[in-house]
Chains A and B, each alone.
Chain A
Amino acid sequence: MSVEPRPTQSVIWRTSVTLLVVGAVALLLQLGIVIVHYGTDEDFLFRAMTDQESDAISDAVTVRKSGKLKVDLPPDVTERYRKYPHGYGFEIVDESGNVMAAANQDIFPPEITRRGVNPEYAMTCIDRDKGSLCVSTRRIEVEGKSYWVNVAITAQSAGIFSRIDPAGIVTGVFVRELIDDVGVPMVPILIALLLVNVLAVRRALRPLHTAAAAVQQLDPSNEKIQLQEAGLPREVKVLVHAINDMLARVDRAMMAQREFTANAAHELRTPLAVLMLRLGEIDGPAADRLRADVRAMARLVDQLLEMARADALTIEPNATVDLAAIGRDTVENLAILALDQGRELEFEDRGGDIVPGNENAVRFALRNLVENALRHSPMGRAVQVVAGPGAQIQVVDHGKGIPPGQREVIFRRFWRGDATTSGSIGLGLAIVKRVADAHGARIVIGETDGGGATILLIFGNRPEPDPGRAMASDRQVENDRAA
């Protein structure tokens, strides 16, 4: 049974969704409470409705030059008064009790005193045969003079509402009350919570990002790699500690493998010496061929050791490599090998630099490059080792060249492009790669003018630092930018 992988979601997304759900539940709860509240308090909503009505009327009042009032109601309100002559009514009364403006005045019940009263606000409802009638009175001030706006609305009970007016404006009032009581306080709180959540999660996860960056910087082939545990939050520390445990195990495994390679190679040398000396006592072309095979095998043993050493390579802070000297030495040492193969080896110094690095390592990297070039060179042609200009050294051959598609894979361990090429097990270029990486050097493969491969080792980038230092120097860069 295959399990569909769930799409990965960020922690921010997950916590935000949780918060939203909780917020929605809280909102619903509060809604419920508000609805129950309005449902049980009969007057509350109606009071709000008459308030709203008297507000609308007050806003519409202006004083004419003649001293009379003019009420300019919005068309829908005017329409409502026209349509429900027994549903809505209002009047505006001055201090002396004179009605200054009115609509559907008849619906005001005589038993409710409404003129000459002097409260700021009052509201009263009376029950009738069919539903009830509520009247509110409220003082307003227009151009320094007090007036009373009296509003009367008839109502019936319906649904959750104990009173509903004929045009149903109470539902609008209800919605507005909900927005005011629930939406206005809750929505900003929810938005603020979500924002705080994003920031808090980001902040909480920052040590994890830092740890991840440190893990990215790790090179498992280096010895003794551990992440910093000090100063990490407890939750992240657990993970980092587990990673460190795993790194230690990987380190032990790598070390065991390196030691095994080194020991095995080492132990092979004595039997090879026996073989070589025994062959020395035999003459003839078959013995010569065997001797060549033993030499190739001895070289393979060397390469295994070089690989094991390159894997454990460390670069002392003050160690340097003279590229010109090392180029010359390499040509000097391998010249006889080239001549034995019917090929030539040349050196040219175009001003090679002295670069930071491990001399032995660069030496065997260069040796492997030259051996590789010799193998792929046609008989009678020369392989050139060129130091410089600057922090680079190149090995130029006139063979078939390296097709662009193979330029990555040739550096893999035990990779062999041409299985028929003898004397190669495909470790040489892997050693070159490992040494280059440890030095922060680039390997560039190009074409030689007139055919063949040119492989450049370009130094000068800072050597691969340990993760702790990498972060420190990145911070330095940031500081520099800030400055």
Chain B
Amino acid sequence: MRLLLVEDNRSLADLIAGGLKRAGFAVDSFATAGEAEEALRAVTYDLLILDLGLPDRDGTQLLQNLRKQGINAPVIIVTARGSVDDRVAGLNIGADDYLVKPFEMDELIARCRAQLRRPGGRSSVALAAGNVSVDTVTGEVRINDEVIDIGRREYDILVLLLRQSGRVVPKARFEEALYGFGEEVTPNAIEAHVSRLRKRLAAAAATPSIHTIRGVGYLLKA
């Protein structure tokens, strides 16, 4: 996977490139929009990471030009402009994700991975948090590298939670994912499944824990 990074702050560019390389990506880093365009003419990149405040041109202009030229690689904007309006504007001109500085490397890597698996429409094969991992193709759940058996509903819940690890998954999302259209959902059904999953994870000494966020949903904390 080859990534293009356009960031004019040398220290930041070096740190981002270093982090991405350690995560297994090949990274070309440029400080200006002009250099980036030149590189894009020569190389096909799988993903672009774009700062908006560039010395020669605004990053949004660069992005618009790329899209006009038919370059459809996913673009993650990494910027100091953090307002909701900026975010919406960025996404409207063709960005796929928007990350406000400062951020942590893990967050950027996770977003890059999310973008890279998107075009195929397939969800990632391996999901993991702490010592829990799930192979979504085989349906295997491992805790501490030991395969454990869990029920279908519990499995679905675990996958949803792992996909959004560290974020709240609203209750409605579980209901949509677990039950078909017209299928009746008893009010405590999700709660019962979550409770069972919790016990199962605890019994196998899993490090992540499932937290109930009352009135909203559930959250898996690694």
B105 A294 Cβ-Cβ under 8 A? no
Binding site of A, secondary structure by majority: helix, strand, loop or mixed? helix
Give the contacts of A437-467 with B (CB-CB under 8 A): none
**Closest residue of chain B to A345, judged by CB?**
B213
A-B contact sample (10 more), CB < 8 A, given A266-B80, A305-B83, A339-B211: A269-B102, A270-B80, A275-B102, A276-B103, A277-B105, A281-B15, A328-B216, A333-B168, A344-B211, A346-B216
B12 A348 Cβ-Cβ under 8 A? no
A277 B83 Cβ-Cβ under 8 A? no
B19 A277 Cβ-Cβ under 8 A? yes
A339 B216 Cβ-Cβ under 8 A? no
Measured CB to CB, the closest approach of chain B to A220, in angstroms, equals 23
What are the residues of chain B within 8 A of A266 when measuring CB–CB? 80-81
| B167 at interface, CB cutoff 8 A | yes
- Binary interface encoding of chain A residues 263-295 relative to chain B, with 1 for a CB under 8 A from any of its CBs, else 0: 000110110111111101100000000010010
| A115 at interface, CB cutoff 8 A | no
| B215 at interface, CB cutoff 8 A | yes
| B55 at interface, CB cutoff 8 A | no
What are the residues of chain B within 8 A of A345 when measuring CB–CB? 213
Binding site of B, secondary structure by majority: helix, strand, loop or mixed? mixed
* With known contacts A277-B15, A331-B215, A270–B101 Cβ distance under 8 A: yes
> A360 contacts which of B84, B106, B214, B215 (Cβ < 8 Å)?
B84
A346 to B211, CA, bound (A): 11
24 A-B pairs with CB atoms under 8 Å apart are A266-B80, A267-B80, A269-B82, A269-B102, A270-B80, A273-B101, A274-B9, A294-B102, A305-B83, A331-B168, A331-B213, A332-B170, A333-B168, A335-B213, A335-B216, A335-B219, A336-B166, A336-B167, A336-B168, A339-B211, A339-B221, A346-B213, A346-B216, A382-B214
Measured CB to CB, the closest approach of chain B to A389, in angstroms, equals 15
Measured CB to CB, the closest approach of chain B to A42, in angstroms, equals 99
A270 to B80, CA, bound (A): 6
Measured CB to CB, the closest approach of chain B to A189, in angstroms, equals 70
Which B residues contact A (CB, under 8 angstroms)? Answer: 9, 11-12, 15-16, 18-19, 80-85, 100-106, 166-168, 170, 211, 213-217, 219, 221
B12 A277 Cβ-Cβ under 8 A? yes
Give the contacts of A321-365 with B (CB-CB under 8 A): 328, 331-333, 335-336, 339, 344-349, 360
What are the residues of chain A within 8 A of B9 when measuring CB–CB? 270, 274
| A173 at interface, CB cutoff 8 A | no
What are the residues of chain A within 8 A of B82 when measuring CB–CB? 269, 302, 305
- Binary interface encoding of chain A residues 197-238 relative to chain B, with 1 for a CB under 8 A from any of its CBs, else 0: 000000000000000000000000000000000000000000
Task: Give the interface centre of B16, B105, B106 by most chain A CB atoms within 10 Å.
Answer: B105
B216 A331 Cβ-Cβ under 8 A? yes
What are the 10 tightest A-B residue pairs by CB atom distance, in nearest-first order? A347-B215, A269-B80, A346-B214, A273-B102, A273-B101, A277-B15, A272-B102, A269-B101, A332-B168, A276-B102
B213 A272 Cβ-Cβ under 8 A? no
* With known contacts A346-B215, A347-B213, A278–B80 Cβ distance under 8 A: no
The interface size of chain A toward B, counting residues with CB under 8 Å, comes to 35
Task: Give the interface centre of A277, A331, A333 by most chain B CB atoms within 10 Å.
Answer: A277
What are the residues of chain A within 8 A of B15 when measuring CB–CB? 274, 277-278, 280-281
A346 to B219, CA, bound (A): 12
B104 A335 Cβ-Cβ under 8 A? no
* With known contacts A269-B100, A280-B104, A335–B83 Cβ distance under 8 A: no
What are the residues of chain A within 8 A of B16 when measuring CB–CB? 277
**Closest residue of chain A to B165, judged by CB?**
A336
A38 to B12, CA, bound (A): 107
A269 to B211, CA, bound (A): 31
B83 A270 Cβ-Cβ under 8 A? no
What are the residues of chain B within 8 A of A277 when measuring CB–CB? 12, 15-16, 19, 102, 104-105
Which A residues contact B (CB, under 8 angstroms)? Answer: 266-267, 269-270, 272-278, 280-281, 291, 294, 298, 302, 305, 309, 328, 331-333, 335-336, 339, 344-349, 360, 382, 385
A298 B102 Cβ-Cβ under 8 A? yes
**Closest residue of chain A to B221, judged by CB?**
A339
What are the residues of chain B within 8 A of A339 when measuring CB–CB? 211, 219, 221
Task: Give the interface centre of B9, B81, B166, B213 by most chain A CB atoms within 10 Å.
Answer: B213
A305 to B79, CA, bound (A): 14
What are the residues of chain A within 8 A of B11 when measuring CB–CB? 274, 278
B214 A347 Cβ-Cβ under 8 A? yes
What are the residues of chain A within 8 A of B102 when measuring CB–CB? 269, 272-277, 294, 298
What are the residues of chain A within 8 A of B167 when measuring CB–CB? 332, 336
A465 to B216, CA, bound (A): 35
What are the residues of chain B within 8 A of A298 when measuring CB–CB? 102
A291 to B170, CA, bound (A): 29
**Closest residue of chain B to A349, judged by CB?**
B215
B80 A280 Cβ-Cβ under 8 A? no
A272 to B168, CA, bound (A): 26
What are the residues of chain B within 8 A of A385 when measuring CB–CB? 215
A332 B213 Cβ-Cβ under 8 A? yes
Measured CB to CB, the closest approach of chain B to A309, in angstroms, equals 7
> B103 contacts which of A273, A331, A349 (Cβ < 8 Å)?
A273
Measured CB to CB, the closest approach of chain B to A483, in angstroms, equals 44
Measured CB to CB, the closest approach of chain B to A19, in angstroms, equals 62
B215 A348 Cβ-Cβ under 8 A? yes
Measured CB to CB, the closest approach of chain B to A327, in angstroms, equals 8
**Closest residue of chain A to B7, judged by CB?**
A270
What are the residues of chain B within 8 A of A281 when measuring CB–CB? 15, 18-19
What are the residues of chain A within 8 A of B168 when measuring CB–CB? 331-333, 335-336
Measured CB to CB, the closest approach of chain B to A278, in angstroms, equals 6
What are the residues of chain A within 8 A of B12 when measuring CB–CB? 270, 273-274, 277
Task: Give the interface centre of A269, A305, A331 by most chain B CB atoms within 10 Å.
Answer: A269
What are the residues of chain A within 8 A of B219 when measuring CB–CB? 335-336, 339
**Closest residue of chain A to B166, judged by CB?**
A336
A348 to B59, CA, bound (A): 42
Measured CB to CB, the closest approach of chain B to A368, in angstroms, equals 15
What are the residues of chain B within 8 A of A335 when measuring CB–CB? 168, 211, 213, 216, 219
Measured CB to CB, the closest approach of chain B to A311, in angstroms, equals 14
What are the residues of chain A within 8 A of B105 when measuring CB–CB? 277, 280
A280 to B12, CA, bound (A): 12
What are the residues of chain A within 8 A of B80 when measuring CB–CB? 266-267, 269-270, 273
What are the residues of chain A within 8 A of B216 when measuring CB–CB? 328, 331-332, 335, 346-347
